[in-house]
Amino acid sequence: MRLIQHKREAFWFYRFLSLGYDRWVNPLFWTTEMRALALDAAHLEPGQQVLDAGAGTGFTTEGIVARVDAADVTMLDQSPHQLQRSRTKPALAACPRMIGDAEALPFEDDRFDRYVSAGSIEYWPDPQQGIAEAYRVTRAGGTALVIGPVRPANRVARALAEAWMLFPPAEDYTGWMETAGFTDVRTVSLAPDWYRDQRVPYALAVSGVKPAPGPSPAARAAPAEESPASPLKFAVRFVAGSAAGAAFVPIAAVLAFRARRARRAAAT
């Protein structure tokens, strides 16, 4: 398991990341343009009941409530610190909020018209179980949308990414959705404007339709998560994982600066 692909470590990682998430992370890695393109695949409309699983500080939720009444959008996250930051956003004031686990959702079967999860799957110890839960809580005929990063083609970037958290190959996303029971599975490639690698997409938005009510055929009991053996091991894993994740920020910042400079040069 990767260094932050563990609920306890991810909890503390976001305890600190939440302080600058909207200011420093989203502008580089999860932009408003990417969000709009991804959410188109969910076919959101007023009157729908929507779950945002792994809602965090509410950046994706802000895109959802531009299309659906905020009172009908439930925000779920395992991090109280992230959800607390979301309370500073006026557009989200009416959204119900819950602390919960995406791999063991605290909702009845067929509860929501739409399920959305953005930037959460990379922290799930068992992605297939998480997507089976997405299937279970989506009503028959409803759409689930999962958005996450893709395994980099560059060897250095791949080593750094996979030391940190889950970066699945693109085909894993569609495989998980189909195994969970979703039909009409579709993908949309996403990338910030600084991303230039043509070999693989930067991220994917993968959607599917639930064909029948009830639980997923891939459902299974979520295994108890194994905790690090000692406080020292936890500290070492947490620091190493956080350092690997933090390394992406200056790399992306440099690439974004170069892309911006190239656009300005082309315009003159």
Q: pLDDT, tens digit, for every residue of 68-124?
A: 999 999 999 988 888 998 999 999 999 999 999 999 999 999 999 999 999 999 888
Q: What is the pTM of this model?
A: 0.81
Q: Is residue 119 part of a domain?
A: yes
Specify if 24 maps to a domain.
yes
Number of domains in the chain: 1
pLDDT per residue over 199-223, tens digit each?
999 999 999 999 999 999 998 765 5
Does residue 179 lie within any of the structural domains? Answer: yes
Helices (H), the chain: 7-17, 26-29, 32-40, 59-65, 80-86, 127-137, 155-164, 170-180, 231-267
pLDDT value at residue 81: 84
In a domain, 241, yes or no: yes
- 201 close to 34: Cβ distance less than 8 angstroms: no
Task: Note down the domain range covering 183.
Answer: 7-267
Tell me the C-alpha distance between 179 and 198, whole Å. Answer: 28
Residue 1 within a domain: no
In a domain, 2, yes or no: no
Cα atoms found within 13 Å of the Cα of residue 70, Cβ hemisphere only: 16
240 within some domain: yes
Which CATH number covers residue 80?
Answer: 3.40.50.150
